[in-house]
């Protein structure tokens, strides 16, 4: 039996169209991961520069921040604190980043090592953190940031 010449082309077209949504989805996810990695850099650099405006642009209206030795902060608390200039960051660096995207939500985890000056005293922190982003109006915004003391090496 002779197979018409157009039949293999149709089969290939059907196979390609079956994988196209997965490829497009993967490309979109990779673009989101790149954007979130960029926003992590913006976050870090804004802390080092004391750029409260850049931080405010990253924060959702319902932001909640929970870090060691501080009360939980809302967005308005965080804005007031950032604008006050009471804390200066000498060093603010993240590592071990893991970025997971779930549609219009994303979770970023990693390690944060920072050195800050508060009330004339230099203090260093070594934290593990979790940051939650949501996509609103085509922009990624931080809705939650939680940090805790990192375990000592070897633990």
Domains in the chain and their CATH numbers?
A: 6-149 (3.10.450.50)
Q: What is the mean pLDDT of residues 25-45?
A: 92
Q: Is the dihedral of CA 77, 82, 87, 89 positive or negative?
A: positive
Is the whole model's pTM more than 0.75, yes or no? Answer: yes
Residue 113 has which token pair?
Answer: 């090592």
A 10 A CB-CB count for 130 gives: 15
How far apart CA 79 and CA 59 sit, in angstroms, is 9
pLDDT tens-digit series, residues 99-116 = 999 999 999 999 999 999
Please provide the average confidence, as pLDDT, over all residues in the chain.
88
């Amino acid at each position: 039996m002779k197979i018409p010449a157009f039949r293999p082309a149709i089969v290939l077209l059907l196979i390609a169209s079956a994988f196209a949504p997965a490829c497009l989805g993967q490309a979109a996810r990779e673009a989101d991961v790149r954007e979130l990695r960029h926003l992590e850099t913006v976050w870090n650099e804004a802390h080092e520069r004391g750029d409260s405006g850049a931080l405010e642009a990253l924060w959702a209206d319902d932001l909640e921040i929970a870090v060691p030795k501080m009360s939980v902060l809302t967005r308005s608390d965080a804005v007031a604190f950032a604008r006050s200039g009471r804390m200066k960051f000498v060093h603010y660096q993240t590592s071990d980043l893991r970025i997971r995207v779930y549609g219009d939500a994303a979770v970023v985890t990693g390690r944060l090592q920072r050195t800050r000056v508060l009330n004339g005293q230099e203090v260093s922190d070594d934290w593990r953190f979790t940051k939650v982003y949501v996509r609103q109006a085509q922009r990624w915004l931080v809705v939650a940031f939680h940090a805790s003391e990192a375990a000592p090496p070897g633990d």
